Structures are given as C-alpha cells and as structure tokens.
C-alpha cells in the first residue's frame, strides 16, 4: 500500500459515481457553497488561492453533506428507531438537523467541553445530548451502548462510505467551479480530523485533476494523519496534547479513510494555534467570513508559509464557522 496504488483495492471505498449520486441526493437540502478568490489573500500567498467557503453550509460546516447522504437512505423503520452519533459538534449538529428534517429522533454523544454554541445549536434541532469526558470515557463505547439499548442506527462521523461520498461533494463542486474560473489547481489543502472530508475530496479532485497534490492540515500535536502518511500505518496522538481546534482532535485516523488517503494524498501539514488564529483574522478582514479554528487551519497553512504557494493555484477548504463569540473575538484581535 502507498500513494499511487489503486483505490480499487480498498474495500468499501466510494468512487466518483457514489459522489455524483450523493450530489444528486443532497441537492435542494445542502448549500452549493461558493469558491472565493481574494486579491489580498493572493498577494499574501504569492499564488492564486481559491477558498471553498463551507462555513456557509447548512449548520455552518461541511458535515451536513455526509449526514444527509447517510440518514436520508434509512428505512421508515430505522428512522422511527432514531440515530445516534458521537461528535465534538459539527457532525452532531448535522446529524441532528438531518434527523429533524426526516422526523427521526437523534442522540449526540458530545464532549463536555464542546463549544456552547455547538451544543446549543444541536439542541435547537431537537437532539438529545449525552455529554462525556474526553480524558476518561470512550465516546464510541457510549454510542454503541445507546444503540444497543434502543435500536438506534449509528451514524459514524467519518469512517463510512456514504459519509465519505457525501463529503466528497465538496471536491465535486470545487472541480466544476474551478473550471468556470479557468483554473487548474496545483494543490488542495484540506482540514483533517478523522479524514472523511479529505478522502472524499481526494476521490473527486483526482478524477478531474490527476496531478493535483492534496495535503491534510492538522493542529500541532494532532497530526496523526500526517505522521501516518509517512509511516504507512495508523499513528496515534500523544495523550495530553492541546489545541483550540476542537473539531480536529481525534486520536487516530479512520480505517477506511486512511486506506483511501494513503493512496491519494501527497502528504500532511501541521499548524500552530497562533497561526490558525491569524488565519481566522485574515478570513474576517479580507473575505468577510467567520471561520472557526478547525475551519481556518488550511488557510493558516497558506498564510504561515507551512507550504510554498508561490506561483501556484491552490484550493483551500475552509470547513466550518461554528465558533463561540468570545473565542472568535480573542482570535481576530
């Protein structure tokens, strides 16, 4: 296994046809978000930077795409039994929203320290929240216990073919929008937690731009995917690492997502919280967009010089904008 080996070898991996099917399914429910170019950002980076603004997506992040693609395919009986998932916030909000639209009860297992705006938004969609301690409890075990007790369907946050295909619609839209801008991307930078977004984007983007170099971007201390791409096996983050990028704090890549990403990606980058805060401020100043820390981290890789963008056309996925006002105010100051 390694970069360039056939994706067809990966059991359960979605293909471009699955992503196109997902695009048809989410049409009319998810937002076709813009691909934005800013002369000021281009000047700072020394290249052409195309920013996919997923903070404008339903529920404020890309996650609604995968959640709707998965939950909308459930049977009437499954919808009656409801859905359950674990999430630091964005996937939970997306599952809660999709379930509400489909008339299904939802339970979201969320860390006790999740941003209040994410928990409040999840509750507004009618979901039940089960808090847990990141340090002492297993969110996966809690989720399985709830599903076993009431028969709810587990909706994984990333390691699921339908979730990956739904997130891949981001890449499908980018390909179509880049063509309208007469742009051929040299690189794509994508925020990475469990790896579902970058896996789906990689499947779509490499279909239309075979030579594109796709990189994950993770917080310092949570660069498990970057290190896994180097070692060829799924690495785990060290206990005790801290970051304000609450959406990107998984301990290890997903099994399916890593099988896909190890074949399609060029590598991974890690960015400091300080550089991410500066990128949040730049998105506010130059793009008039509110980006949460995890949503701004790929832009941070560009603006901090973590990767050289000079003379290149680079796609940057800004994956979400769900951030508490106090943290946001501090970051952009």
Cα 200 from Cα 196, distance rounded (Å): 6
Could you tell me which residues are beta bridge partners of residue 286? none
What does the pLDDT look like over 60-70, one tens digit per residue? 999 999 999 99
Angle between helices 325-332 and 273-282 (to 10 degrees): 90
**Residue 290 has what pLDDT?**
98
Query: Mean pLDDT, to the nearest integer, of 155-182?
Result: 97
**276 and 180 inside one domain:** yes
Cα 27 from Cα 101, distance rounded (Å): 14
Within 8 A by CB and 6+ apart from 231, the residues are none
**Residue 10 has what pLDDT?**
85
Sign of the C-alpha dihedral computed for residues 222, 93, 261 and 189 taken in this order? negative
**142 and 167 inside one domain:** no
What does the pLDDT look like over 120-160, one tens digit per residue? 999 999 999 999 998 889 989 999 999 999 899 999 999 99
Domain containing 179 — which CATH number? 3.40.50.1100
Give the Cβ contact number of residue 30 at 10 Å. Answer: 26
**13 and 112 inside one domain:** no
Tokens encoding 69: 């693609």
Q: What residues make up the domain containing 130?
A: 63-154
**39 and 103 inside one domain:** no
**16 and 90 inside one domain:** no
Is-contact 69 165, C-beta < 8 A?
Answer: yes
Please, what is the average pLDDT of the chain?
95
pLDDT at 88 over 90: no
């Amino acid at each position: 296994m390694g970069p360039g080996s056939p994706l067809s070898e990966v059991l359960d991996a979605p293909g471009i046809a699955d992503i196109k099917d997902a695009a048809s399914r989410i049409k009319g429910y998810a937002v076709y978000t813009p691909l934005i170019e800013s002369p000021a950002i281009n000047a700072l980076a020394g290249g052409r930077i195309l920013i996919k603004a997923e903070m404008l997506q339903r529920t404020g992040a890309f996650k609604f795409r995968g959640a709707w693609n998965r939950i909308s395919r459930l049977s009437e009986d499954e919808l009656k039994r409801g859905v359950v998932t674990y999430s630091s916030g964005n996937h939970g909000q997306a599952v809660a929203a999709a379930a509400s639209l489909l008339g299904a009860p939802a339970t979201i297992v969320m860390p006790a320290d999740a941003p209040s705006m994410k928990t409040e938004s999840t509750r507004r969609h009618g979901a039940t929240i089960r808090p847990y301690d990141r340090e002492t409890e297993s969110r996966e075990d809690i989720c399985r216990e709830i599903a076993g007790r009431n028969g709810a369907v587990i909706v994984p946050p990333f390691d699921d073919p339908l979730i990956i295909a739904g997130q891949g619609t981001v890449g499908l839209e980018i390909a179509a929008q880049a063509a309208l801008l007469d742009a051929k991307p040299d690189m794509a930078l994508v925020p990475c937690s469990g790896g579902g977004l970058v896996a789906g984007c990689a499947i779509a983007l490499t279909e239309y731009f075979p030579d594109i170099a796709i990189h994950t971007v993770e917080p310092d201390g949570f660069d498990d995917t970057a290190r896994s791409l180097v070692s060829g096996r799924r690495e785990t983050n060290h206990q005790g690492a801290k970051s304000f990028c609450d959406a990107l704090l998984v301990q290890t890549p997903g099994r399916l997502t890593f099988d896909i990403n190890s074949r399609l990606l060029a590598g991974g980058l890690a960015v400091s919280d300080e550089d991410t805060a500066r990128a949040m401020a730049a998105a506010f100043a130059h793009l008039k967009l509110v980006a949460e820390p995890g949503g701004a981290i790929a832009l941070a890789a560009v603006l901090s010089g973590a990767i050289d963008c000079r003379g290149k056309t680079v796609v940057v996925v800004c994956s979400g904008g769900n951030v508490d006002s106090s943290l946001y105010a501090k970051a952009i100051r």
